[in-house]
Amino acid sequence: MKQGIHPKYYTDCQVSCACGNKFTTGSTVEKIEVDVCSKCHPFYTGQQKFVDIKGRIDKFNEKVAKGKKTASDKAIKSKEKKSKKSN
């Protein structure tokens, strides 16, 4: 192996999670901060967390409820106008 090209290996790398869990591992980085670990990840815990984020369908339904014109409404009205002109 070439000398001087490999990074330093830390055998006591501290890993800390956003949930508060901390553990030690080996890495080329001295300190690692993660958002999800095996103590809080749904795959390992069996508990699923739902985050309420409005999707496109919810936003569309709100627009319809408020009475805003949607692309499908405009298409229907244009078809109605064309049928009135031809009569």
List the CATH number of the domain containing 1: 4.10.80.400
Do residues 42 and 57 share a domain?
A: no
Partners of residue 32 on adjacent β-strands: 15
Q: Among all chains, which residue has been given the structure tokens 């999707």?
A: 55
pTM of the model: 0.47
Domain range for 71? 52-87
**64 and 34 both lie in a single domain:** no
- Per-residue confidence (pLDDT) for residue 31, from 0 to 100: 95
Segment 56-78, tens digit of pLDDT: 888 888 888 887 666 666 777 77
The sign one gets for the Cα dihedral 47, 52, 55, 61 is positive
Q: Which of 11-20, 39-48, 62-71 has the highest mean pLDDT?
A: 11-20
Q: Are residues 37 and 62 in the same domain?
A: no
Strands ordered across the beta sheet of 10-17: 22-27, 10-17, 31-34
Number of structural domains found in the chain: 2
